[in-house]
Amino acid sequence: MKLYFVIMLGGALGSAARFGLASVIDGKWGTLPWGTFTVNVLGSFLIGFFMALAGPDGPFMASPVTRAFVAIGILGGFTTFSSFSLQTLMLLQDGEWLWAAGNVLLTVTLCLLATAGGIALAGVLPLRS
């Protein structure tokens, strides 16, 4: 039961952070939902970075509860692939095929690269003993 509460608390914090950041960014640069795009790429980087540092093989072995709080709770609430899916479908319904394709291509590619970047950065930090 404690684990569920910790994940819910983290999810609330991550959702609030997502709303705040996306609200600042959305609507400033054209049709693409840049706020959602930004939180997905940033969240992908952060989960790679965090898990490389705090995972079972990382230099800061965090407890399973702490990892769940951050990775499932905070970062799960922060990233927005359900919003990404809905916004992409809305672009398609509005006939914005090019923007929809760009959103899919950019989001998936950069989120994968961001996750790999987070893992790579954590791997080169002088933190291992």
Q: What's the pLDDT tens digit per position in 4-29?
A: 999 999 999 999 999 999 999 987 77
Q: Is the pLDDT reported for residue 101 higher than 90?
A: yes
How far apart (Å, rounded) are the C-alpha atoms in residues 72 and 85? 19
pTM over 0.95: no
How far apart (Å, rounded) are the C-alpha atoms in residues 47 and 69? 12
Q: Is the pLDDT reported for residue 126 higher than 90?
A: no
In the chain, % of residues over pLDDT 90: 76
